[in-house]
């Protein structure tokens, strides 16, 4: 006889915690990765929450959206039905920090009873027993109420118990339904299994304009190393252009060992200042300042002076070290060694960065390393800095960033961190989920109408919009795209308008952008020739046309709240692939802007619009008043279809404030349009 078959052990049978909870809650949105990560908002914004809430059988359900600030008590608002068992509600975040939210639902026995009563009354059936049941339900609500509400409910219960036509009228009264709903029976309520999170930042996290400059290039006299005082002297200019964030590349001592020369040559000449990203020397590391820039006290004066101009100073955080950084000698275990005993320098083959040592996050001393890096943030926060651009965060562990950002935000919820991670999309999104406030994007390389439409749709119309705040940069010290190299000043102009109006936050590498610098280090390269990363350049403002465009667009951004958000971005039809049409509006439709940009920096392009007027808060039919905020020109447009022609040598785009025409006045039988006249 063969081996006996062993029957599997029976699965243990367990009872639910409370089998009387019959309401199901699922499909909650927004919810990022099953509640693993928070969504993002700024103070004053709404959080709209949706959920599928239903039960078995035919009983009606009711549900509420529960929310609280991390330091407060739970509050709640009713959710409204949105069709097909979908419910919707909202709350407003009013303080910095973190909020929690969830959904709770229960059987609405009184609502179910009223629904059935109405059917029986319409069918002229006897409802005396039903009124008695309703009286019991109302009396239960009275026991849960207090004061005047309890007294009114007791009176209503008595009226229902009395029966007759008056009782039916009382039972179907909407005021009674409202009063009972305010005191529901939640003994068997279901609460969504997760408490979801919202990170709440200040408005500059959502809406900001960044200007990047190298402090060492700000001296009045060519060849002299700039100082913090020289930067202070430039603040009125930056403020006049309309920027509210002044971003400084690393301001620390620069290593001398293996210092790079001009254009990233392997060896430096006697006067070469080296790359600011090769951080640290005998003069100090990440918490020190380059002696030729000034002192820490001078830096404090810069921060205070910028604040008086309405500007915040943003610092670069680059967690890497020059070979002569103090940490290399003090903490040799923080760096990886090669077989020959030398420290491993940074590489991105075929590029070699002998002047930079990466930190080894797999060191056995990782806890001390993490604390030291957090200490770098804290030292600058203590000096009044609240905005940081973080260099290459994708080359450091995700777990480090999650921990460090949580520590920073717990102490200083007003801190803003911009992730400079030009890497794979999932990595960029992960960093945003972990807490980075804003993120660099692929905008610089999205040039065609289809590329821009697809990319902006992804950023603003998918779940990414809940946690990923894009910052659009048409150029950086590392990025000089072929589009800018080949297109000249018109290319710079249109890319600026796109960056500043497509995204609520954007930035430029300022002096180079204003002057439309576009010579690459060699053909096919995106590196600048005579890059400011490796040499001191004489700072000077850009040409009048570019300066005027920048200042005007930034003024439009400040004056038109429609540009303060990405949520309402919508694309409109226009029958030329070189023309891009899009709009933004305020939630209340009080401000609506339509942008039409010529993506071809060389040729005149024209086309007919196909506007979705409802997206602009406008009713179909009737003429429109289109005021071009870039030029002051005013056009009379006819509904959805209008002719547009843009010469890139004259104007890169229209930025139009659209309003319905209240009264039409035709002079001489002509009405102006952007193409000329319409007869």
Name the token pair of 88. 């919707």
Residue 603's CB is within 10 A of a number of other CB atoms, namely: 12
Name the token pair of 579. 């023309």
Q: Which residues is 570 bridged to in the sheet?
A: 583
**Catalytic site residue from 130, 420, 514, 532:** 420
Q: Where are the beta strands (DSSP E) in 33-108?
A: 39-42, 46-55, 61-69, 75-78, 80-83, 86-92, 97-107
Q: Which residues is 572 bridged to in the sheet?
A: 581
Angle between helices 109-122 and 174-181 (to 10 degrees): 160
The H-or-E segment that residue 144 falls in is helix 128-144
Mapped to the 3 state alphabet, what secondary structure does 273-307 carry? Answer: CCCCCCECECCECCCCCCCCCCCHHHHHHHHHHHH
Whether 3 is catalytic: no
Distance, in Å, from the CA atom of 416 to the CA atom of 317, rounded to the nearest integer, reads 12
Count, in order, helices (H) and strands (E) of the chain: 15, 32
State in Å, rounded, how far the first CA of the chain is from the last one.
104
Give the CA dihedral 634, 638, 640, 643, nearest 10 degrees.
-60
Surface-to-core class of residue 461, CB atoms within 10 Å of its CB (0-12 exposed, 13-18 middle, 19+ buried)? middle
The H-or-E segment that residue 137 falls in is helix 128-144
The answer, yes or no, to whether the previous bond of 66 is cis (omega within 30 of 0) is no
| Alpha helix ranges (H) inside 32-101 | none
Distance, in Å, from the CA atom of 512 to the CA atom of 519, rounded to the nearest integer, reads 11
Placement of tokens 């930025």 in the chain: 655
Whether 420 is catalytic: yes
**Catalytic site residue from 108, 244, 355, 391:** 391
Distance, in Å, from the CA atom of 537 to the CA atom of 10, rounded to the nearest integer, reads 78
The answer, yes or no, to whether the previous bond of 293 is cis (omega within 30 of 0) is no
Q: Which residues of 117-151 are buried (b: 16+ CB within 10 A; e: fewer)?
A: beeeeeeeeebeebbeebbebbbbbbeebeeebbe
Output the furthest CA–CA distance in the chain (Å, rounded): 111
DSSP 479-522: B--HHHHHHHHHHHHHHHHHHHHHSSEEEEEHHHHHTT---BSS
What is the set of active-site residues? 391, 420
């Amino acid at each position: 006889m063969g081996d006996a078959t062993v029957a599997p052990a029976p699965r243990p049978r367990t009872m639910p915690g409370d089998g009387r909870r019959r309401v199901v809650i699922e499909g909650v949105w927004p919810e990022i990765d099953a509640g693993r990560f928070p969504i993002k908002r700024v103070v004053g914004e709404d959080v709209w929450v949706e959920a599928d809430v239903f039960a078995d059988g035919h009983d009606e359900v009711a549900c509420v959206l529960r929310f609280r600030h991390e330091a407060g008590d739970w509050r709640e608002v009713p959710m409204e039905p949105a069709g097909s068992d979908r419910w919707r509600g909202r709350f407003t975040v009013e303080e910095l920090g973190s909020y929690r939210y969830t959904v709770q639902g229960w059987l609405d026995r009184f609502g179910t009873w009223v629904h059935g009563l109405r059917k029986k009354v319409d069918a002229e059936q006897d409802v005396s027993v039903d009124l008695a049941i309703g009286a019991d339900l109302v009396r239960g609500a009275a026991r849960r109420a207090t004061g005047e509400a309890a007294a009114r409910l007791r009176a209503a219960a008595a009226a229902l118990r009395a029966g007759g036509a008056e009782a039916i009228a009382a039972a179907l009264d909407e005021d009674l339904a409202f009063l009972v709903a305010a005191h529901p029976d939640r003994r068997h309520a279901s609460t969504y299994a997760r408490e979801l999170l919202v990170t709440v930042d200040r408005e500059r996290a959502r809406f900001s304009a960044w200007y990047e400059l190298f402090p060492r290039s700000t001296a009045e006299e060519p060849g002299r190393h700039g100082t913090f005082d020289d930067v202070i002297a430039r603040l009125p200019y930056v403020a006049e252009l309309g920027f509210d964030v002044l971003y400084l590349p690393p301001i620390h001592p620069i290593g001398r060992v293996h210092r790079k020369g001009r254009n990233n040559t392997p060896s430096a000449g006697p006067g070469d200042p080296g790359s600011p990203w090769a951080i640290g020397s005998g003069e100090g590391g990440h918490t020190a300042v380059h002696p030729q820039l000034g002192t820490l006290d001078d830096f404090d004066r810069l921060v205070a002076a910028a604040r008086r101009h309405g500007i915040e100073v943003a610092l670069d955080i680059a967690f890497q070290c020059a070979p002569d950084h103090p940490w290399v000698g003090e903490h040799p275990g923080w760096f990886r060694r090669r077989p020959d005993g030398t420290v491993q320098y940074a590489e991105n083959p075929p590029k070699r960065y002998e002047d930079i040592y990466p930190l080894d996050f797999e060191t056995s001393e990782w806890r001390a390393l993490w604390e030291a890096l957090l200490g770098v943030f804290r030292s600058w926060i203590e000096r009044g800095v609240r905005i940081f651009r973080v260099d290459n965060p994708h080359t450091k562990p995700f777990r480090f960033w999650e921990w460090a950002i949580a520590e920073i935000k717990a102490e200083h919820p007003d801190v803003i961190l911009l992730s400079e991670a030009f890497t794979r999309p999932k990595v960029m999104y992960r960093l945003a989920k972990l807490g980075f406030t804003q993120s660099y994007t692929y905008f610089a390389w999205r040039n065609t109408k289809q590329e821009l439409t697809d990319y902006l749709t992804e950023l603003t119309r998918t779940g990414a919009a809940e946690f990923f705040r894009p910052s659009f940069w048409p150029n950086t010290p590392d990025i000089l795209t072929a589009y800018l190299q080949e297109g000249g000043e018109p290319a710079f102009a249109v890319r600026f308008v796109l960056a500043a109006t497509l995204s609520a936050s954007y930035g430029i590498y300022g002096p180079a952008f204003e002057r439309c610098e576009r010579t690459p280090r060699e053909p096919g390269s995106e590196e600048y020739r005579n890059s400011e990363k490796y040499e001191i350049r004489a700072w000077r403002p850009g040409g009048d046309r570019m300066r005027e465009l920048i200042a005007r667009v930034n003024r439009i951004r400040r004056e038109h709240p429609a540009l303060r958000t990405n949520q309402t971005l919508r694309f409109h039809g226009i029958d030329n692939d070189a023309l891009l049409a899009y709009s933004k509006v305020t939630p209340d439709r009080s401000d609506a802007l339509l942008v039409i940009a010529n993506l071809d920096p060389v040729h005149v392009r024209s086309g007919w619009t196909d506007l979705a007027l409802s997206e602009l808060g406008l009713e179909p039919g009737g003429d429109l008043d289109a005021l071009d905020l870039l030029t002051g020109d005013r056009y009379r447009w006819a509904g959805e279809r209008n002719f547009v022609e843009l010469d890139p040598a004259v104007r890169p785009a229209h930025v139009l404030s659209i309003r319905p025409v209240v009264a039409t006045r035709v002079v001489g039988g002509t009405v102006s349009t952007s193409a000329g006249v319409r007869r």
